Amino acid sequence: MKKVMVMIVAASLAATSSFAANLASDNGGNYSGGWTNNSNGGSGFSAWSITANNGTGFAGAFIGDPASAGISGLSSTSFGQFASPQLSGATVDAGRGFTGGALAVGQTFSFDWGVNWDSDGAGNKGWNLYSGGIGGTQLINVNMGGSAAITIDDGGGAATLFSNYGTAAMTINIEQLATGLRIYATGRDGIETYDNTFIGVSGVDSFKFYSSELGTGDNRQQYFNNLAVVPEPSTIVLGVVGVLGLAIARRRAAK
């Protein structure tokens, strides 16, 4: 019996590891050869769509160290954007979709996001969630303009996501519920929290990070990393039950 219990525990751990594996994942460390339009590291995502317009300034996407912008808690090989100076027309967008289709109920899309100084003046930086691909229906916009405030808007008007300055990276969690889209995170000051469900919102299948006409200085650049989509808990449970059943059946057959 003791041996059977050991087998069950081992099977449970193996199943949890196998079935809890990310449906999609990627990070800046996968781009040692450079992060450019149509590059595609990781798994479970479509290729990156990166567009940059210098205007009379400078804009682009790169792999770099957020510490150079005073941001903590992110890898030295994270995704970053620059677009400056103000009123130059400089813009950069970087987005992609989920190859597995829109988030199903119980699935969560997450990423680490770092911002330090505000965007300055008329500048903006942030990210969008879409249904129907990038350029389709925009479901959520998160934006940081010329103040400490970071806002979130589902089309019904902007509300405050976080109010305080800070330098810590934020883990953004976007979970599809049966009732709507839940977004939750801890702010960059390490104290503020946000947890809200946007009732009736569903169909997230792509996302985009954007920066435009930021003030000068690396501290105004945004960084992000550790993109992931994880399965719903029920999938993990079914996996555990299945592997346990297989282990027990094999044990009985051996007898």
Superfamily assignment of 21-230 in CATH?
Exo-inulinase; domain 1 (2.60.120.560)
pLDDT over 70 at 224, yes or no: yes
pLDDT of 63-79, one tens digit each?
Answer: 999 999 999 999 999 99
Beta-strand runs (E) in the chain: 24-26, 49-53, 58-64, 78-84, 91-97, 108-114, 124-131, 137-144, 150-153, 159-162, 170-176, 180-186, 193-199, 206-212, 223-230
The dihedral through the CA atoms of 22, 46, 156, 87 has a sign that is positive
d(CA 188, CA 13) in angstroms, rounded, equals: 34
Provide the whole-model pTM: 0.86
Computed over every residue of the chain, the mean pLDDT equals 88
Q: Are 119 and 215 in contact (CB under 8 A)?
A: yes
Sheet holding 49-53, edge to edge: 49-53, 91-97, 206-212, 124-131, 137-144, 150-153, 159-162
Read off the pLDDT of residues 15-55 as tens digits, 9 standing for 90 and up. Answer: 444 445 799 999 999 999 999 999 999 999 999 999 999 99
